[in-house]
Amino acid sequence: MNTVQECPWCGSDQIIRTIPEKDPVNVIIVCKQCQRIISDTDNSSAARKTNPARQNVEEKVIQLCMNAGKLPAIKYYLTEMNKMPGIPPIGLREAKETVEAILYTRGLSSMVKKPNKNGGVIALIVLVLIIACIVYFFTHR
């Protein structure tokens, strides 16, 4: 395998080698700055989209997926694509499928931020505090 020194898309030298969980034999090389997969067969001029507005939306979607998760990215994609002239309006399901397809084609599905699960812990703490207040109220009359 040829070692990559800089990203052909953005020119950054911050390259990450990742090993996918489902296919540990194939190593994926990802640019840390633009989140694109780099391979020896990529041709940057052929891989770019012809519509720059759509390309900007897709890049922002990937950044949102990496930083905030899929839900904000799907919402952003849905609103921005419905604002574009000349493109028929899309539905929520189509936006979700498109965002997942974008992530899958770039090999970034496993790198998406997972939802935070602290809500249950907070609810448990509040419930314990309520019970403690009730016990204190009835025992200290």
Residue 20 and residue 40 in one domain: yes
Residue 116 and residue 137 in one domain: yes
pLDDT at residue 67 in the model: 84
Residue 69 token pair: 């998760």
Residue tagged 């931020």 (tokens) = 113
Residue 97 token pair: 């499928």
Which H/E stretch holds residue 130?
helix 119-139
Residue 66 and residue 32 in one domain: no
Residue 59 and residue 28 in one domain: no
Q: How many domains does the chain have?
A: 2
pLDDT at residue 125 in the model: 93
pTM of the model: 0.49
Residue 118 and residue 68 in one domain: yes
C-alpha–C-alpha distance, residues 44 and 111, integer Å: 22
Residue 12 and residue 78 in one domain: no
Domain assignment of residue 37, given as a range: 1-47
Beta-ladder partners of 102: none
Point out the residues of the chain with pLDDT beneath 50.
1, 4, 40-50
Residue 69 and residue 109 in one domain: yes
pLDDT at residue 47 in the model: 39
Residue 41 and residue 60 in one domain: no
Residue 119 and residue 64 in one domain: yes
Residue 80 and residue 43 in one domain: no
Residue 137 and residue 68 in one domain: yes
